[in-house]
Amino acid sequence: MTTSKTIYMFRHGETDWNREGRMQGSTDIPLNETGRQQARQLREFFNANPVDVFWSSDLLRARETAEIIAAESGTEILLDARLRETNLGAAEGLTNHEFTTLYGEEILERWRNVDLVDHHVRFPKGESKFEHRVRFQQGLEDLLHSAAAAEWRRIGVATHGGSMRRLIHHLRPELTEAVMVGNCGTYKIEYHVTTRKWVIDLVPIFTAGC
């Protein structure tokens, strides 16, 4: 078994809801043309830095990003619902202004706060930040410790901005300002299977030029 694995974790490309400032969550929104172009840019990175497999959220925007990246290499893509974005409940499809008109400013400010005191905050009918991070991280660790992953050394993970931000802040609790992850922003992570230790480079190794 390979005991140390390199993970290239990236956010999906742009969608129309991203452009309009709408909260997406678990709503299944496709990439727009800008998002597809961003994915094609990221494909060049992966052509130069090939991985053994891609793991992807099963939501269309992440899956389509992974499919564009893997189109030339033919690298296998495995889908897993645990890699999805937070279920935002009643907030999905709303702009910040529309949300605060309905529910007020306080819950949105607490949602943005990265301090542990607000980790259990959730939007109405939605998933809390803590629940999301545990679901996402546990899903990754289950995959990393699976029999299929035993010989894989380099893995691409197609996921979502909230998923990446929650994991980054969990791994680096000293960060007091929210880490902003752009569309197709990519971070390099080392995962040590025997110790279950995560080591993340906080400088993105790829940022889409679009």
Cite the active site residues. Answer: 12, 85
β-bridge mates for residue 158, sequence order: 10, 56
Here the contacts of 39-43 (C-beta below 8 Å, separation 24 or greater) are 39/12, 39/13, 39/64, 39/65, 39/68, 39/69, 39/184, 40/68, 41/184, 41/208, 41/209, 41/210, 42/10, 42/13, 42/69, 42/184, 42/186, 42/206, 42/208, 43/68, 43/69, 43/71, 43/72
The CA distance from 30 to 59, in Å, is 8
